[in-house]
Amino acid sequence: MRKFSEYFTVFFFYRLAGIILLLSGLVFYLFWGIEYSGWTDSGLISFVVPLILLGLLTIWLGNEKEKESRKLVKK
């Protein structure tokens, strides 16, 4: 049986924060587009694109940090 600390690592929280940012950007864009028919509104896009990019970059950062950590442990 795995320990609690094996599941909830720093890398898990990087990925969780990334997923939250990514989903919040996508859900906000869909909600705004459906509610106000503003699919190409520049204000909406300038708000949503950084959320989605930060989400993707945070997920990538978590994966890279975990790979780096595993390399250090093997040595």
- Closest Cα partner for 61 from 24, 17, 27? 17
pLDDT in tens, the chain (75 residues): 667 777 788 889 999 999 999 999 999 999 999 999 988 889 999 999 999 999 999 999 999 998 988 888 776
Widest pairwise Cα distance in the chain: 56
> What pLDDT does residue 1 have?
66
Tell me what pLDDT residue 8 has: 82
Residue 10 has a pLDDT of 87
pLDDT for res 38: 86
